[in-house]
Amino acid sequence: MRSAALLSLATAVLAWDNKTIDTFYPDIVDPEAVVQTSGNSSYSAIPVGSVGGTPDTEQYGEYNYCFMPHPRDDTYELPAEKDAQIVALTYVQRHQKRSAYHTFPEGEDIAYSCSDFLPFLYGGPANRATQRDPVVVYASTYSDESVNPFSTTHDPNTTCQFPQLTSGGFADGITHGRDLWAVYGDKLGLLPKYPTAETVWLRSSTKALTQQSAGGVLRGLWPYLRDALPLHQQDEQIDSIGSNFPCDQRDAYDAAWKKSDEFKKHMEVLNPLQTKFKTAFKTNVSDWNSDWDHYNDNFQARLCNGYPLPPSVDDTAANTVFKAGDWEYNYHYVTQKNATDYIKLKTGVFIGELVAQLQQVVNGTSNIKYHHVFAHDGDVAPLTASLGIKTLRWPGMGSNVALELWKLKNEHYIRVLYSGQPIRSNLGDLSWIKFDDFVSKWTGQAVPKNVFEECKVGN
Ligand SMILES: *[C@@H]1O[C@H](CO)[C@@H](O)[C@H](O)[C@H]1NC(C)=O
Ligand SMILES: *[C@@H]1O[C@H](CO)[C@@H](O)[C@H](O)[C@H]1NC(C)=O
Ligand SMILES: *[C@@H]1O[C@H](CO)[C@@H](O)[C@H](O)[C@H]1NC(C)=O
Ligand SMILES: *[C@@H]1O[C@H](CO)[C@@H](O)[C@H](O)[C@H]1NC(C)=O
Ligand SMILES: *[C@@H]1O[C@H](CO)[C@@H](O)[C@H](O)[C@H]1NC(C)=O
Ligand SMILES: *[C@@H]1O[C@H](CO)[C@@H](O)[C@H](O)[C@H]1NC(C)=O
């Protein structure tokens, strides 16, 4: 009896149970799904447990926009193959929670404060032994309506440099890193106690908020580290993170996807809410109304950082907005007709880089055990789509893809986790797949053979 009780307790906290994972995969293909109030499209998309950061233990593992789940000791399952050894981890995450990108063009009913978080910005000589260190300086954002008249309308009294990380995002980063250490450091012995250039390779986008996230996550991983660490970056003009390189065909897909009948239907279903918002928030300008991105961003940033929604937005309206955001991500990256070709051009170069690095570990020409990339929703979304994700809700703050490389009897295997759980994929079971099979399945459709040719319009 006792062991039965223990067993059921163990089952209850296991993240890899279908009910928990189901929260990532609601039925949202139909444009009408966002306004449906019954059936399996009627999920709540309002971020749970968001204000305090870490959600309740019972709910941990469920989709949570403000602080997405990640590999964590109490919910992490070892592979069934007991003799397998983990040899490397490639980990791509979105930054942690932040202030808004999009505040209302004529001002907000709240004043965003970021004065409890200091964005350090300074440079210094590489030779720190013989040359003077810089003074440590940080950005201190202010607005003063007595000298800058625009301060009265646009974000009055803010101390945030939008979309900077918030102190809550930094705290979440520390938790994220500490949890990764518990799994990949303590439990699996993969991560080194001290990060060296031979074993650890870190990369970020060129944006401040991914670097600020790295500062938190890496502190969680290595609490006593005193040295500075390199965060590898590419030239912003050609960065494969963010898909910044020139590519006309990718741009053509970006210009086309909102012109489809499904997308028009999506906007039409939500037209009454849009009309109401245009008046309420003085947002009758095109960039607020071509999709639901900006309202999502504005409301998410409020809820994730402890601010109320605007008084005129009730839970039903907020839920509809968040479901509209989920619908748009799923349509853009998974269900639209051109999705596969689009993703290849959007993120195929980045995928090629991730695969090449893993291939070097398999070939024995690299000793990198840990490759961590700090990126954006616009990177995590096409990455999960390239991995065949069955349904894509908006990849929330700190959402992550783990590509675990394992070795069993001289054979290498991959295990793909999305937000700490096996990804449900149209490519088949990616929870244990031979490395070579994985690479051909994944890169066959996701990496351009000749990106210059394929980027030409109508190639
Ligand atoms: C969980 O779902 C998978 C398929 O998605 C199925 O094969 C498996 O039987 C389910 N497990 C349980 C306990 O329902
Ligand atoms: C949603 O419901 C439909 C029909 O009721 C079913 O076919 C589908 O599998 C369900 N989807 C999920 C994710 O449970
Ligand atoms: C900004 O703060 C000042 C000083 O606290 C206050 O007088 C002013 O009303 C505030 N402005 C807005 C637009 O909230
Ligand atoms: C798909 O791509 C083709 C070729 O670029 C374009 O003509 C078409 O409008 C696109 N369709 C959608 C739904 O984006
Ligand atoms: C938005 O602006 C357009 C064009 O200026 C106008 O026709 C429309 O009535 C406005 N809508 C709202 C809700 O204010
Ligand atoms: C690794 O080995 C494979 C198979 O032997 C080879 O095709 C590939 O070029 C090698 N790749 C790297 C990055 O060394």
- Output the residue whose Cα is nearest ligand 3's atom 5: 157
Does residue 169 sit in helix, strand or coil?
Answer: helix
CB contact at 8 A, 295 and 277: yes
How many angstroms separate the CA atoms of 265 and 250, rounded?
Answer: 24
**Predicted confidence (pLDDT) at residue 350 exceeds the cutoff of 80:** yes
- Residues 94 and 396 sit within 8 Å (Cβ to Cβ): yes
Model pLDDT, residue 57: 59
Q: Which of the ligands is closest to the CA of residue 259?
A: 4
Which residue CA neighbors atom 7 of ligand 3 most closely?
Answer: 157
CA angle at 43 for the pair 74 and 45, rounded to the nearest 5°: 75
Cα-to-centroid distance, 113 and ligand 1 (Å): 45
Closest residue by Cα to atom 8, ligand 5, is 284
Give the pLDDT of residue 295. Answer: 98
Ligand 5 nearest atom to the CA of residue 284, by list position: 1
Residue nearest to atom 1 of ligand 6 (CA): 363
Q: Confirm or reject: Cβ of 192 under 6 Å from ligand 3.
A: no
Residue 3 has pLDDT above 50, yes or no: no
pLDDT at 10 over 70: no
Are the CB atoms for 349 and 245 separated by under 8 Å? Answer: yes
CB atoms within 10 A of CB 62: 21
Name the residue with the closest Cα to ligand 4, atom 9. 256
Confidence class for position 2, pLDDT limits 50, 70, 90: very low
Q: Residue 330's closest CA among 399, 395, 424, 256?
A: 395
Instruction: Please state, in angstroms and rounded to a whole number, the distance separating the CA atoms of residues 333 and 379.
Output: 11
Q: Which of 225, 174, 176 is nearest to 73 (CA)?
A: 176
pLDDT at residue 440 in the model: 97
Q: What is the pLDDT of residues 375-391, one digit of tens each?
A: 999 999 999 999 999 99
pLDDT in tens, 184-193: 999 999 999 9
Compute the distance between CA of residue 332 and CA of residue 392 in angstroms, rounded to an integer: 10
Which pLDDT tens digit goes with each residue over 247-269? 999 999 999 999 999 999 999 99
Q: Which residues line ligand 2 (CB under 6 A)?
A: 25, 27, 40
Crossing angle (nearest 10°) for helices 271-280 and 315-330: 120
Question: Does the pLDDT at position 49 exceed 70?
Answer: no
What phi, psi does 204 have (nearest 5°)?
-140, 170
Question: What token pair was written down for 63?
Answer: 């989709």
Token pair of 50 as six digits:
């968001």
Ligand 2 centroid vs 173 CA: distance in angstroms? 35
Per-residue confidence band for 50, with pLDDT thresholds at 50, 70 and 90: low
Instruction: Specify the DSSP element, H or E, that contains 445.
Output: helix 435-446
What pLDDT is stored for residue 58 in this prediction?
Answer: 64
157 Cβ closer than 6 Å to some ligand 3 atom: yes
Contact predicate 315/347, CB 8 Å:
no
Closest atom of ligand 5 to 278 CA is 13
Q: What is the pLDDT of residues 264-301, one digit of tens each?
A: 999 999 999 999 999 999 999 999 999 999 999 999 99
Which residues are near ligand 4 (CB < 6 Å)?
Answer: 252, 256-257, 260, 336-338
Rounded to the nearest 5 degrees, what angle is found at the Cα of 386, between the Cα atoms of 259 and 55? 95
DSSP 337-400: TTHHHHHHHHHHHHHHHHHHHHHHHHHTS----EEEEEE-HHHHHHHHHHTTBSS-----TT-E
Question: Residue 404: helix, strand or coil by DSSP?
Answer: strand
- The amino acid occupying position 374 is F
Q: What is the mean pLDDT of residues 368-376?
A: 98
pLDDT number for residue 54: 54
Length reported for the chain: 459
Q: How far apart are alpha carbons 302 and 298 in whole angstroms?
A: 6
Q: Which atom of ligand 4 is nearest to the CA of 337?
A: 13
Give the burial class of 193: count Cβ atoms within 10 A of its Cβ; 0-12 exposed, 13-18 middle, 19 or more buried: exposed
Chain centroid offset of residue 181 CA = 19
| Residue 354 banded pLDDT, cuts 50, 70, 90 | very high
- Taking residues 2-6, what's their average pLDDT? 36
Report pLDDT digits (tens) over 107-161.
889 999 999 999 998 999 999 889 999 999 999 999 888 888 888 777 778 999 9
Which are the contacts of 30, defined by CB distance < 8 A and separation ≥ 6?
Answer: 36, 41
**pLDDT digit string (tens) for 436-456?**
999 999 999 999 999 999 999
